[in-house]
Amino acid sequence: MPDLTEPMAAAPHCLPAGLGVDRFCAAMATRGWLVIDRFVDDDLVHRMRADLERAYATCRRLQIANGIALDTEGTLHHLVGQGESFLEFIDRLGPLEPHLQAHFGGPFILNAFGGNILRTSASYASAIHRDVRTYSRELPLLLNTLLMLDDFTVRNGATMMMTGSHRDCPVRPSDEAFAERAEAATGRAGSLLVFDSNLWHAAGANNTADARRSVTPMFSRPLVKPQFDHPRALGYERMDTLSELQRQVLGYYSRIPATLEEWYQPPQRRMYRPGQG
């Protein structure tokens, strides 16, 4: 049995040689999470950091203006449309597409694309939580990913993962139970943490002077309602400029018609295409 606990090393743009679909699915089924070392290269990491800073100014302005500043410091939401690097990341999922398809048993879409700039102060992401309210155990509704934009270490608050809790923890564990089983998901910048959304986790405490940045795209089966209408946010007309992978993942093939004209279309022009589950 291969060791599922070690971050799997790969050259940028590739998956580690040992990370076949079977190994991926085995890790998700047993531990519920894994780290893919340097899933994206430094160039994309640098551009995502710059886009993240700009997007944070936009998100923070609205958080403050709308009276929700307290618990949201450092958090960002709905980055699709807030920087080209975020769209580029969707295209970089190619090598992982068969793995995510195997996990979901079919095509998948983006559910939400957030981010976290973790400094010494905490946000809601620092509480023990999971990101799917409906505990679905063996039926995977949602899958989290977290792309590390800085090295994640124990000192700067690497995400704490309660290994295996997606299988046996339908309700929130006590702080003690969490601490007993939680492992730090450490990794180099560019590494991708992938985890079952049924798994309990929390951002660690950042005890350094530097920010620990990440983006957190989540994925689902197309039949699950996404947290943001990505095709409408980008514009339906933008579809022609996107890759096949971006169209699928951003949900252009699983939109909701709003007129009879949109509904009555041949299969390949339908807003919700055949085969989306």
Ligand X SMILES: O=C(O)CCC(=O)C(=O)O
Q: Residues in the site for ligand X, rule: CB under 6 A?
A: 116, 118, 125, 131, 144, 146, 159, 201, 203, 214, 216
Cα 231 from Cα 211, distance rounded (Å):
31
CA 89 – CA 110 distance, rounded (Å): 12
Closest to ligand X by CB, 37 vs 131, is 131
Q: Compute the least distance from the CB of residue 130 to ligand X, in Å.
A: 8
92 burial type by CB count under 10 A (0-12 exposed, 13-18 middle, 19+ buried) = middle
Backbone angles phi, psi at 147, to 5 degrees: -95, 120
Residue 195: CB atoms within 10 A of its CB come to: 25
Nearest distance from C-beta of residue 159 to ligand X, angstroms: 3
Measured from the CB atom, is 166 or 201 closer to ligand X? 201
d(CA 50, CA 42) in angstroms, rounded, equals 12
Contacts of 119 (CB under 8 A, 6+ apart): 73, 74, 206, 211, 212
State in angstroms the smallest separation of the CB of 243 from ligand X.
25
Which run of H or of E encompasses 54? helix 42-65
Least separation in angstroms between CB 71 and ligand X? 13
Q: How far is the CB of 185 from ligand X (least distance, A)?
A: 8
CB of 86 to ligand X, least distance (A): 15
Which residue has tokens 């089983």? 181
Q: What is the spatial distance between Cα 219 and Cα 174, in angstroms, rounded to a whole number?
A: 27
Minimum CB distance to ligand X smaller for 113 or for 252: 113
Residues 135-165, buried b or exposed e (16+ Cβ, 10 A)? ebeeebbbbbbbbbbbbbbebbbbbbbbbbb
Q: How far is the CB of 237 from ligand X (least distance, A)?
A: 31
Residue (196 or 273) nearer to ligand X, CB: 196
CA atoms within 13 A on the CB side of 261: 0
Rounded Cα gap, residues 62 and 131, in angstroms: 23
Give whichever of 10 and 161 is closer to ligand X, judged by the CB atom.
161
The residue among 226 and 252 lying less far from ligand X, judged by its C-beta, is: 226
Looking at the Cβ atoms of 27 and 146, the one nearer to ligand X is: 146
